Amino acid sequence: MYLDQGWLRDIVHKPSPNFNQRPQGVRPELVVIHNISLPAGEFGTGCIESLFCNTLDCSIHESFSDLVGLAVSAHLLIDRCGLVTQFVSFDDRAWHAGVSMYQGRENCNDFSIGIELEGTDDLAYTDAQYSTLRQVLAVLRRHYDLADDAVVGHCDIAPERKTDPGVAFDWGRISDVLKRSE
Protein backbone atom coordinates (compact mmCIF):
# COMPACT_ATOMS: atom_id res chain seq x y z
CA MET A 1 0.00 0.00 0.00
CA TYR A 2 1.46 3.36 -0.96
CA LEU A 3 0.45 6.97 -1.62
CA ASP A 4 0.50 8.85 -4.91
CA GLN A 5 -0.47 12.53 -4.75
CA GLY A 6 -2.64 12.01 -1.68
CA TRP A 7 -4.38 8.86 -2.98
CA LEU A 8 -3.74 5.30 -1.88
CA ARG A 9 -2.96 3.09 -4.85
CA ASP A 10 -4.58 -0.27 -5.63
CA ILE A 11 -7.83 0.46 -3.80
CA VAL A 12 -11.27 1.68 -4.87
CA HIS A 13 -11.57 5.44 -5.47
CA LYS A 14 -14.99 7.10 -5.39
CA PRO A 15 -14.30 10.83 -5.43
CA SER A 16 -16.67 12.83 -3.25
CA PRO A 17 -17.70 16.39 -4.06
CA ASN A 18 -17.70 17.08 -0.31
CA PHE A 19 -14.22 18.46 0.25
CA ASN A 20 -12.16 21.60 -0.18
CA GLN A 21 -8.54 22.63 0.12
CA ARG A 22 -6.76 22.67 3.42
CA PRO A 23 -5.61 26.10 4.61
CA GLN A 24 -2.39 27.15 2.92
CA GLY A 25 0.65 25.46 4.44
CA VAL A 26 -1.41 23.00 6.53
CA ARG A 27 -0.66 19.29 6.24
CA PRO A 28 -2.35 16.36 7.94
CA GLU A 29 -1.20 16.07 11.55
CA LEU A 30 -4.03 14.01 13.02
CA VAL A 31 -5.99 10.88 12.08
CA VAL A 32 -9.56 10.64 13.36
CA ILE A 33 -11.18 7.20 13.64
CA HIS A 34 -14.96 7.14 13.14
CA ASN A 35 -17.62 4.50 12.70
CA ILE A 36 -20.64 4.50 10.46
CA SER A 37 -23.40 2.17 9.31
CA LEU A 38 -26.39 3.02 7.15
CA PRO A 39 -29.02 2.16 8.15
CA ALA A 40 -27.73 1.97 11.71
CA GLY A 41 -26.37 -1.49 12.46
CA GLU A 42 -26.65 -2.70 8.85
CA PHE A 43 -23.57 -3.42 6.78
CA GLY A 44 -22.75 -3.78 3.10
CA THR A 45 -25.68 -1.69 1.91
CA GLY A 46 -23.71 0.77 -0.25
CA CYS A 47 -25.48 3.61 1.52
CA ILE A 48 -22.29 5.00 3.11
CA GLU A 49 -20.64 5.41 -0.27
CA SER A 50 -23.81 7.02 -1.62
CA LEU A 51 -23.94 9.44 1.32
CA PHE A 52 -20.34 10.55 0.79
CA CYS A 53 -20.94 10.98 -2.97
CA ASN A 54 -24.27 12.85 -2.56
CA THR A 55 -26.21 10.10 -4.32
CA LEU A 56 -28.07 8.62 -1.35
CA ASP A 57 -31.81 8.28 -1.94
CA CYS A 58 -33.02 9.44 1.46
CA SER A 59 -36.50 8.04 0.80
CA ILE A 60 -35.35 4.40 0.96
CA HIS A 61 -35.19 4.27 4.76
CA GLU A 62 -37.11 6.27 7.37
CA SER A 63 -33.94 6.93 9.39
CA PHE A 64 -32.40 8.77 6.43
CA SER A 65 -34.76 11.72 6.68
CA ASP A 66 -32.21 13.68 8.72
CA LEU A 67 -29.60 13.13 5.99
CA VAL A 68 -31.47 15.10 3.32
CA GLY A 69 -29.14 17.79 1.98
CA LEU A 70 -26.25 16.72 4.24
CA ALA A 71 -22.83 17.18 2.64
CA VAL A 72 -20.25 15.01 4.44
CA SER A 73 -17.31 12.85 3.53
CA ALA A 74 -14.32 11.04 4.94
CA HIS A 75 -11.00 10.34 3.37
CA LEU A 76 -11.44 6.56 3.70
CA LEU A 77 -13.99 3.89 4.50
CA ILE A 78 -12.82 0.47 5.67
CA ASP A 79 -15.68 -2.00 5.31
CA ARG A 80 -16.29 -5.13 7.40
CA CYS A 81 -14.19 -7.23 4.97
CA GLY A 82 -11.27 -4.81 5.28
CA LEU A 83 -11.72 -3.33 1.82
CA VAL A 84 -10.77 0.33 1.48
CA THR A 85 -12.61 3.00 -0.49
CA GLN A 86 -11.05 6.46 -0.72
CA PHE A 87 -13.31 9.47 -1.26
CA VAL A 88 -10.98 12.45 -0.77
CA SER A 89 -7.25 12.94 -1.28
CA PHE A 90 -5.36 13.10 2.00
CA ASP A 91 -3.93 16.39 0.76
CA ASP A 92 -7.45 17.90 0.73
CA ARG A 93 -9.88 18.61 3.57
CA ALA A 94 -12.69 16.07 3.89
CA TRP A 95 -15.79 17.06 5.82
CA HIS A 96 -15.80 14.43 8.58
CA ALA A 97 -15.13 16.06 11.95
CA GLY A 98 -17.75 18.79 12.22
CA VAL A 99 -17.44 21.13 15.17
CA SER A 100 -14.27 19.84 16.79
CA MET A 101 -11.16 20.68 18.79
CA TYR A 102 -7.87 18.90 19.45
CA GLN A 103 -5.25 20.20 21.87
CA GLY A 104 -6.78 23.68 21.72
CA ARG A 105 -7.00 23.78 17.91
CA GLU A 106 -10.48 24.13 16.44
CA ASN A 107 -11.74 22.90 13.05
CA CYS A 108 -10.00 19.53 13.00
CA ASN A 109 -10.99 19.01 9.35
CA ASP A 110 -8.27 21.55 8.51
CA PHE A 111 -5.44 19.32 9.77
CA SER A 112 -6.84 15.80 10.01
CA ILE A 113 -7.53 12.68 8.01
CA GLY A 114 -10.88 10.98 8.61
CA ILE A 115 -11.09 7.18 8.51
CA GLU A 116 -14.52 5.60 8.79
CA LEU A 117 -14.84 2.01 9.93
CA GLU A 118 -18.06 0.31 8.92
CA GLY A 119 -19.49 -0.50 12.32
CA THR A 120 -21.18 0.68 15.46
CA ASP A 121 -19.98 1.80 18.89
CA ASP A 122 -20.82 -1.50 20.56
CA LEU A 123 -20.23 -4.21 17.93
CA ALA A 124 -16.72 -5.64 17.64
CA TYR A 125 -14.78 -4.57 14.56
CA THR A 126 -13.43 -7.34 12.35
CA ASP A 127 -9.90 -8.70 12.18
CA ALA A 128 -9.83 -7.61 8.53
CA GLN A 129 -10.66 -4.03 9.52
CA TYR A 130 -7.88 -3.91 12.10
CA SER A 131 -5.41 -5.41 9.62
CA THR A 132 -6.26 -2.86 6.95
CA LEU A 133 -6.34 0.02 9.43
CA ARG A 134 -2.86 -0.95 10.62
CA GLN A 135 -1.56 -0.89 7.04
CA VAL A 136 -3.15 2.48 6.32
CA LEU A 137 -1.85 4.02 9.54
CA ALA A 138 1.68 2.79 8.79
CA VAL A 139 1.57 4.47 5.36
CA LEU A 140 0.17 7.70 6.81
CA ARG A 141 2.72 7.74 9.67
CA ARG A 142 5.61 7.43 7.18
CA HIS A 143 4.29 9.87 4.61
CA TYR A 144 3.12 12.63 6.96
CA ASP A 145 5.57 11.98 9.83
CA LEU A 146 2.71 11.81 12.34
CA ALA A 147 3.40 12.07 16.07
CA ASP A 148 2.76 9.17 18.47
CA ASP A 149 -0.45 10.79 19.74
CA ALA A 150 -1.75 11.63 16.26
CA VAL A 151 -4.53 9.00 16.11
CA VAL A 152 -7.71 9.71 18.04
CA GLY A 153 -11.38 8.85 18.04
CA HIS A 154 -14.14 11.19 16.91
CA CYS A 155 -15.18 11.13 20.57
CA ASP A 156 -11.86 12.74 21.49
CA ILE A 157 -12.31 15.80 19.26
CA ALA A 158 -16.09 16.26 19.69
CA PRO A 159 -16.87 14.70 23.10
CA GLU A 160 -20.10 16.63 23.63
CA ARG A 161 -21.72 15.12 20.55
CA LYS A 162 -19.82 12.04 19.35
CA THR A 163 -19.03 8.61 20.84
CA ASP A 164 -17.32 6.83 17.95
CA PRO A 165 -15.42 4.68 17.36
CA GLY A 166 -17.05 3.48 20.58
CA VAL A 167 -16.34 1.02 23.35
CA ALA A 168 -16.02 -1.84 20.86
CA PHE A 169 -12.90 -0.33 19.31
CA ASP A 170 -9.77 -2.05 20.64
CA TRP A 171 -7.02 0.60 20.68
CA GLY A 172 -4.55 -2.10 21.70
CA ARG A 173 -4.89 -3.68 18.25
CA ILE A 174 -3.23 -0.62 16.66
CA SER A 175 -1.11 0.75 19.52
CA ASP A 176 2.21 -0.54 18.20
CA VAL A 177 1.60 1.15 14.84
CA LEU A 178 1.14 4.45 16.67
CA LYS A 179 4.60 4.41 18.22
CA ARG A 180 7.65 5.69 16.38
CA SER A 181 10.42 3.16 16.13
CA GLU A 182 13.45 4.28 18.10
Q: Is 104 in contact with 55 (CB distance < 8 Å)?
A: no
How far is it, in rounded angstroms, from Cα 72 to Cα 140? 22
Write down the catalytic residue from 49, 116, 118, 182.
Answer: 116
Q: Is 94 in contact with 28 (CB distance < 8 Å)?
A: no
> Annotated catalytic, 116?
yes
Which runs of E-coded beta strand occur in 29-83? 30-36, 76-78
How far is it, in rounded angstroms, from Cα 51 to Cα 72? 7
Task: Report, as residue numbers or ranges, the catalytic residues.
Answer: 116
